[in-house]
Chain A
């Protein structure tokens, strides 16, 4: 059961303001030392997948810089390895769609050149830690050409995307779009027979402007789709509010989340520091107070500064006496001494890259 992976990173979001000005959602810094795509790449690596394609967005600079030749995910290999492939560009960025058929047509060779049985298709912006191996096993036994991953979510909760109507045998009856309060939320991840995917691309080539899931939805009578319930944590990062939550989904020693190595010094907590309920990454020097916050690498937090409910990305300089509450500061932001910035839970203040306040 040879399985390869394809990660779709050719989509963006308008919800993040300055944070996504020069980068794709996939390369958004997250969780103190990661980029969102690290989760998809690490899930592949931790499931023993050694051939992974990434469909890159047009503004792929930060993404390509981050994943390089893929060595943190054991993809710097002779056989297989990492394939970064440009996605389609058509004037406008794609926002909602994860698996645009046009992108798959462009990377058709990725499916054709490998001899794998299955392909895991994943989006690149979900925070989750999945072992794909049991899913591959189930898919292999099911005889269905497609197995979709879903997560049971409380009805009425604010999820957007697709929801699955599933029969007693676990097969998909209908796929519904957002707005319907179905409990089985599609996790933007599915496994498909490689040859079926090639056929699928050929059959529907004229519908290239459509999303693959949309096409499946419209053609359910001809589709035989199995499902797999994912019971772990699935974090949808759809706006800056999600972004600020402190969680430790990546603290899993069985399946670590890998990322580009930076190799910073340990964090120095000065005698005056006071850190509570926070994630702090290497290379930081902290003299002030940090609460419910995520601090990326090499951030300096000055004396009597207070950082609460905030995210400070790499190389931030937070001066003495600064107060930040519900603030997201992009890379290389400098907040000079004494400045006080207050956002709210529903509307955190976003400070763009390299800004000095």
Chain B
């Protein structure tokens, strides 16, 4: 009989540990993320999509703007997945590179600005919850994540320019590099 009781306790314990973790997050992470989401959603509504589209049109010509400034601002303002729609202002040749950079900005900025990609927040939060458990501040990690992302995502976009040229040769096609002003 004792054995059965022990077994049942062990079984319930599996879920009790999960439940404790869950309610801990509900009390700490959920309200914080919710407040951030509300503030960011409001800001985005007030600034409007048109302005970011204008920035996108002007960014197409310069790699630094194209793979660093625009995807960073775009992911902040339009969030995932609509940040990818700004790629329509890019010449065909640079669309894959813009995608490569923007896809990564949807994560590296997500630590501080969870509104960008709430559905995949646990890439950051999974690891950061370990940091929190140690009683260390998550923000330090989030800021370094963003800064390293800023540099490496730019390099990622820029490297894609070369891989695109390589695949162009492989497939014997040429993609247009012309910037079209009208979206």
Say whether A associates with B.
no
